[in-house]
Structure 1
Amino acid sequence: MTQILAIDQGTTNSKAVLVDDGGGVRAIGSAPVGVTHPRPGWVEQDAELLWSSVLAAIERCLALVDTADLDLAGVALSTQRESVVAWDRRTGRPLGPVIGWQDVRTAAWCRDRTGPDDDELVRGRTGLRIDAMFSAPKIGWLLRESAVVVSPADVRVGTIDSWLIWKLTGGERHVTEAGNASRTLLYDIVDLAWSPALLELFGIPAVVLPQVLRSDGDFGVCHSVPGIRDGVPIAAVLADSHAALYGHGCTEVGTAKATYGTGTSVMTPTASFVAGSSPVPSTLAWLTETPTYAREGNILSSGATLAWAARVLGGSVSDLLARAATVGDAGAVTLVPAFTGLGAPHWDREVRGVITQLDPDTDPARLARAAVDAVAHQVCDVVEIIDAEAATPLASIRADGGVTTSDLVMQTQADLLGRPVEVADLPEVSALGVADLARRRIGGAPTPRATGRVFRPTFDDSTRAARRDHWREQVRWLRSAPRS
């Protein structure tokens, strides 16, 4: 039996998923990843601890199978995206923290050091807007603040896929996958190369960056990785949201997925690269024989919203959801979870979260329900833009991620979207997607998309419209309020 070990490295945990040649999951191991907030708006991780979590996930996964029956044909990587790390090529030691994708320390730099012409340049080459979420401002910060003691020729910088490939290959390969590169603001997704103009804009020397490979490219072979024999190839790499799109089988225009993790990625393929001023930007989904482009709206706080509300109200996220289910709605209470600002489609990184419409009858159950509603409303904000700008509205949404285990959240999503939400039967869609691509590379057959639960809307049009209008009003109020 030929197997793929898919490593899914996310914001708060690392997973290792052993996938058989029919696409079935044989074993799963996971390990948590710590996240620190040394200052307001700063989000950091330790690169070595992140790598240790990957090793722990691999060990826990492979401990569940008979090693005599283990025939690894390849390793596949699905990774968190815009987070960046710098390290010394001579020692392999990190030169600073991993700066997380949620981090906003460079928001002022993006605002003050770039202008409309710069934004037009970035949109035309990358499909994205200049924002602190993306990698280039973070790379600039690391080079200025953390890597100054090392000669540029000895500095290596990359997104998390680059760091893990470096570690898996024993320091032999400094490479990245094209979809991950497309999230840096430095990679021209039409020319499929690092852009000299963008490198100059962000002050990034080309020598520190990895070589960009196609998603099913030659990423090297594993060396001295516990549990994996030397020589097993890294057969495919995808960014986690892109891997979920692939895993859902969303390869045609008109299909879409939403991955609910710490934040939410709403993504739909497009026939070609669409440059422009849309608040739902374009991106490169993956690169194989030809590039596949997509539009994506990134929501900054989804699972993080539920975790925050659970912490404030007391208890676990499960307790929060049970409490929310005891009421039919949140009343007028609205939580806008702009903890590090708002992402797509608002792109306002300077606002902060707010709870509105409190009254003497507001109780913990309604606050809990407002957190559930906030997750769903933010997805609706993105989908409505995609619908308005597409020739045909999206018929349904395919969903994955940890939050999708909640029937309440998924039903709320269907009700507010006014269309079905198809939830994957396994939450490991990103791992399965990149494993499928790896299997194709080594000559295996593709696996069919597995279906799961389907949630259909129960709201009538007037109820849905009223709740959406109320949400929009609260967001507009927040964005127009005076700022300190």
Structure 2
Amino acid sequence: MEKFILAIDQSTSGTKALVIHQDGKIVAKSAAEHQQIYPAPGWVEHDPDEIYENVKRTAQEALKLAGISAVQLAALTITNQRETAVMWDRTTGKPIHHAIVWQCQRTADECAALQEAGFAPLVRSATGLMLDPYFSASKWHWMLRNAEEARTLLAQGKLLAGTMDSWLVWKLTGGNVHATDYTNASRTSLFNIYSLQWDAAMCDLFGVPLEVLPVVKSSDDLFGCTADIDLWPEAVPISGVIGDSQAALFGQQCWEPGMAKATYGTGTSVLMNVGGKPALSEQGLVSAIAWGRDGQIEYALEAVIRVSGDSIKWVRDNLGLFRSFAEMGELLAQAPRNEGVYLVPAFVGLGAPYWDPYARAAITGMHRSTGKPHIIRAALESIAYQVRDAVELMQAETGIRLKVLRADGGASDNAVLMQFQADLLDIHVAKSDIAELSAMGSVYLGGLGVGFWRSVEEIPTRHLSYHAYEPSMDMHERETHYTGWKRAVAAVLRSDAKAEATSRGVNHNEGVGT
């Protein structure tokens, strides 16, 4: 009997279920979006129950489309939106509040107060992370203070906390397993990336009790078996649990130090494998665990971009400037240059290298002849500018000059964006022809964990292919574009964020090479 792996790809915008054959091919896929909840400016939430129902529905539909039953599954793997925080009642299985999404800025003041009190170096030295509302710990603390049931359940020993992978594992196993993996744990601000344990000092600092947190495992460990009879009666092993950006790094086969990729999603993660020892950044990069596999830990440096593809969605849905991506392409053709118009998509603050949660979005450089095509182009180009910010910082921190950037994620399908990215970076951009790199990364790890493949050498690669984009823009034009971008960013930063960014070598007034 043929065996398959079912991958659950739970992202910021929706959930996909993919059935993968042992030869590495995707044989069936189902997808469902979930509601984006905005209760206040800068606040973003999801409904965990809605997400779990979508997981079950898409999983069942994917099996049906593939013409197989759960008994033919060697494993179920999970890759997930990172940092999104959930808390729930272990007895009823009900969330005590909507999930607080990684983009949410409601805890910006709390993080700023900790920063002003001098705790940022302590947090960085233990966790490798910035002191920022992007990460999970302050979100859990907010729930403990504001969710009506939180304190009662905590006192009764009934409260659990986790990132989205933990929530799904707990639900899929019928409440029998409360676990996460190293990659997701390393994004919480509570996990020590050196000792590989929850850090008691960080838990005290953020006010999150150790006892509510999950057990931490390697990505290729066995996390338990499915036990939700509403899903299917068979017990399917769960393995290959990993945060989506790290999953894409593994799926891109960036298995050697110095290899880097950018995942162009709702936000964008630029991630570089740095090997078996963590590399701490002093200039705005995040140190994280790339994955745990076969008893070994690999580390990564990451530049976090809060909003990239979501800016295109904003231009389409909020401004109504286009209805389809075909129409977007036609409008872009009408404005082959941005004519000095820039969109800084700081809808929920700015990440690396600025790390200003209070920055807000702006469109700059408009003139009387500015039209829809210019604003659409400005939104698209803002993604590439932010990636250049990230790559330049990464190169400065590591001393490694990237020769190629591997690209994946939904926005990487846009050829205009990918060509502009290659031009702006002046390097080769290799765009994967497989859109589902995060899912494939979790599949590779889960497959190794359950013996679907016995080694990385057995992982099939013949189906992997790339579209190459080569730089063709001259230096003067490239740097003129980038200088305009940095001036636009400077206009939305607070004065203290400007000063901090300048101290890290981010010059807002001059272009590189000009």
After TM superposition, the score normalised by the length of structure 1 is 0.97
Q: Deviations over 1:86-115 (max 9, x none)?
A: 100111111111000000000001112444
Measured after TM superposition, the shift of residue 462 of structure 1 is: 1.6
Contact 2:321–2:376 (CA<8 Å) still a contact in 1?
Answer: no
Does residue 451 of structure 2 align to residue 447 of structure 1?
no
Q: Is contact 2:219-2:446 (8 Å) kept?
A: no
Matched, 1:148 2:151: yes
Partner residue of 1:468? 482
8 Å CA contact 1:268, 1:295 repeated in 2 = yes
Say whether residues 1:304 and 2:317 are aligned partners: no
Amino acid at match of 2:388: C
Pairing 1:73–2:74 present: yes
2:439 to 416, 431, 434: 431
2:323 maps to which residue?
A: 316
2:171 counterpart of 1:167: yes
Question: 1:107-128: per-residue Cα shift (whole Å, max 9, x none)?
Answer: 0011124446411111111111
Mapped contact 1:307–1:317 kept (Cα < 8 A):
no
User: What is the identity, as a one-letter code, of the residue corresponding to 1:126?
Assistant: T
In structure 2, how many angstroms separate the alpha carbons of the residues matched to 1:35 and 1:95? 18
Q: After the TM superposition, which of the residue ranges 104-113 and 469-478 deviates more from structure 2?
A: 469-478
Instruction: Pick closer, same or farther for the CA change 1:116–1:266 going to 2, 3 Å.
Output: farther
1:396 aligns with 2:407: no
Is the CA contact 2:19–2:66 (under 8 Å) kept in the aligned structure 1? no
Q: Distance in 1 between matches of 2:234 and 2:70?
A: 17
In 2, Cα distance between the equivalents of 1:121 and 1:200? 12
Counterparts of 1:88 and 1:412 in 2: how far apart (Å)?
A: 48
Q: Is the 8 A contact 1:27 1:62 kept in 2?
A: yes
Hey, what's the Cα distance between the residues in 1 that align with 2:346 and 2:431?
A: 26
CA distance in 2, matches of 1:297, 1:189: 17
Residue-pair matches, total: 483
Which residue does the alignment assign to 2:243?
239
Q: 1:326 to 1:94 in 2, by over 3 A?
A: same
Greater mean alpha carbon deviation, residues 403-412 or residues 274-283? 274-283
Match of 2:472 among 449, 458, 461: 458
Q: Please point out which of 253, 264, 271 is paired with 1:267.
A: 271
Aligned to 1:198: 202
Looking at structure 2, the residues matched to 50 and 68 of structure 1 have their Cα atoms a distance apart, in angstroms, of: 22
Structure 2 equivalent of residue 287 of structure 1:
292
1:348-367 alignment to 2 at 5 Å?
348-367=356-375
Q: What do you get for the CA RMSD once the two structures are aligned?
A: 1.7
Superposed displacement of residue 69, structure 1: 9.8
Deviation digits for residues 396-428 of structure 1, max 9, x if unmatched?
A: 111111111111111111111111111111211
Alpha-carbon shift at residue 379 of structure 1 (Å): 0.6
Could you list the structure 1 runs, at least 4 aligned residues long, displaced by more than 6 angstroms after superposition. none
Contact 1:325 1:408 in 2 (8 A): no
Q: Which runs of 5+ in 1 are unaligned?
A: none
Please say if residues 419 and 457 of structure 1, whose CA atoms lie closer than 8 Å, have aligned partners that are also in contact. yes
Flag the 1:125–1:481 CA change in 2: closer, same or farther, 3 A: closer
Superposed displacement of residue 277, structure 1: 1.7
2:8 counterpart of 1:30: no
Measure the CA separation in 1 of the matches of 2:109 and 2:400.
38
Instruction: For residue 316 of structure 1, report the CA deviation from its aligned partner.
Output: 2.6
Unaligned segments of structure 2, at least 5 residues: 498-514
Is the Cα contact below 8 Å between 1:238 and 1:434 reproduced in 2?
Answer: yes
Aligned twin of 2:126: 125
Is the CA contact 1:324–1:372 (under 8 Å) kept in the aligned structure 2?
no
CA distance in 2, matches of 1:75, 1:14: 14
Q: Counterpart of 2:120 in 1: which secondary structure?
A: helix
Contact 1:255 1:395 in 2 (8 A): no
8 A Cα contact 1:321 1:368, kept in partner:
no
Partner Cα separation in structure 2 for residue 48 and residue 247 of structure 1: 28
SS in 1 for 2:493: helix
Conserved in 2, the CA contact under 8 Å of 1:47 and 1:94?
A: yes
Deviation at 1:225, TM superposition (A): 4.9
- Report the 3-state secondary structure (helix = DSSP H, G, I; strand = E; otherwise coil) of the residue aligned with 1:465: helix
TM-score (norm. length: structure 2): 0.91
| Letter in structure 1 aligned against 2:7 | A
Does residue 43 of structure 1 match 2:17?
no
Range 472-481 or range 181-190, more displaced:
472-481
Q: Greater shift after overlay, 390-399 or 72-81?
A: 390-399
Instruction: In structure 1, give the amino acid aligned to 2:377.
Output: R
Offset of residue 328 of structure 1: 1.2
